[in-house]
């Protein structure tokens, strides 16, 4: 995974520039939105690159798109929300590629006039009290990835250590969001699929890594699920939707060069729903493709009242 990080390091810098163009108006978005009528409501999407639909372009540069899970979820819930009424639902994307929980609170990765993504979110929630229909958040994935637990002597022990910190930081974030949003706004969190599973396609060592990664990522999943539950926030089980722990062998439906006979279900899914198994220059890339984002949107939608 380190090699992949090296390959995409310059691409991430370009992605962050694109993200800057996208979120530099995050705080001014209040001014524009507040000009809406009294029946204007909002879905606020918070989090990492997944929340802004990042996908690699044809040159392998990961950039925000309009095909992310928030965009697809918005397209699904908007018609029912607006049907038979004068209400209008708008999507507000405040997410930032590469965002960690420390970044989310203190503001490092992307520029926000309020200082951080959390501050921008709180400002928006306060300024639009009673008008926010839904908030979704995905956080913790970059914290876990940056810890390089798959390179640790004991990946599970590393995962436990970093997940403990993620849980502590996320609990603070969720409390702040709930306080600003009030009791009537639906907030939904999510856990993550396991991009490390693609190493199964490499060799015997890669298969060992894939197996170890499933154990390590399941630790993160457990901590995230507990943290969201403690905060009273439903969590979309993306890990289960991607069947991340299912190593049952099936005949591979993947095209060459990844058509290697039988493959575990979870490996097939990570190849079909992300860019992890795509050839250079598009892949490998950890981000979901449009179908993968659709699956995430499905998982969140199932939790909505």
pLDDT number for residue 259: 67
Question: pLDDT, tens digit, for every residue of 249-281?
Answer: 999 998 877 767 899 999 999 999 999 999 999
CATH of domain 2-301: 3.40.50.1110
Burial class for 102, CB neighbours closer than 10 Å (0-12, 13-18, 19+): middle
Residue 33 above 50 pLDDT? no
Quote the CA–CA distance of 96 and 19 in Å, as a whole number: 7
For 185, phi then psi, to 5°, come to -85, 130
Quote the CA–CA distance of 104 and 91 in Å, as a whole number: 20
Categorize the per-residue pLDDT at 21 as very low, low, confident or very high, splitting at 50, 70 and 90.
Answer: very low
Quote the CA–CA distance of 2 and 150 in Å, as a whole number: 10
Per the model's pLDDT, the better-predicted residue between 4 and 297 turns out to be: 297
Q: What does the mean pLDDT of the chain come to?
A: 90
Question: pLDDT, tens digit, for every residue of 56-82?
Answer: 999 999 999 999 999 999 999 999 999
């Amino acid at each position: 995974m380190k090699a992949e990080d090296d390959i995409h390091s310059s691409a991430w810098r370009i992605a962050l520039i694109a993200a800057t163009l996208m979120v530099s108006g995050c705080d001014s978005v209040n001014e524009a939105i507040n000009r809406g009528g009294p029946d204007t409501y909002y879905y606020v999407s918070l989090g990492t690159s997944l929340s802004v639909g990042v996908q690699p372009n044809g040159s392998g540069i990961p950039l925000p798109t309009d095909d992310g899970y928030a965009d697809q979820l918005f397209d699904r819930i908007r018609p029912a929300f607006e049907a038979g009424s004068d209400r209008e639902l708008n999507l507000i994307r405040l997410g930032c590629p590469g965002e960690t929980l420390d970044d989310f609170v203190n503001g490092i990765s992307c520029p926000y006039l309020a200082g951080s993504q959390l501050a921008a979110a709180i400002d928006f929630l306060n300024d639009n009290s009673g008008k926010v229909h839904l908030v979704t958040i995905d956080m913790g994935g970059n914290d876990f990835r940056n810890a390089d637990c798959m390179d640790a002597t004991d990946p599970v022990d590393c995962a436990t250590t970093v997940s403990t910190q993620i849980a502590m930081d996320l609990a603070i974030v969720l409390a702040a969001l709930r306080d600003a949003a009030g009791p009537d706004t639906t907030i939904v969190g999510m856990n993550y699929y396991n991009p490390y599973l693609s190493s199964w396609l490499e060799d015997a060592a890669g298969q060992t890594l894939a197996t170890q990664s499933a154990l390590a990522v399941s630790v993160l999943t457990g901590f995230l699920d507990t943290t969201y539950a403690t905060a009273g926030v439903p969590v979309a089980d993306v890990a289960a939707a991607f069947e991340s722990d299912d190593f049952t062998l099936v005949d591979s439906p993947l095209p060459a060069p990844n058509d290697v006979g039988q493959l575990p279900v979870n490996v097939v899914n990570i190849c079909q729903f992300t860019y992890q198994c795509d050839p250079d220059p598009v892949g490998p890339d950890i981000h979901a493709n449009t179908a993968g984002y659709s699956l995430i949107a499905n998982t969140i939608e199932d939790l909505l009242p």
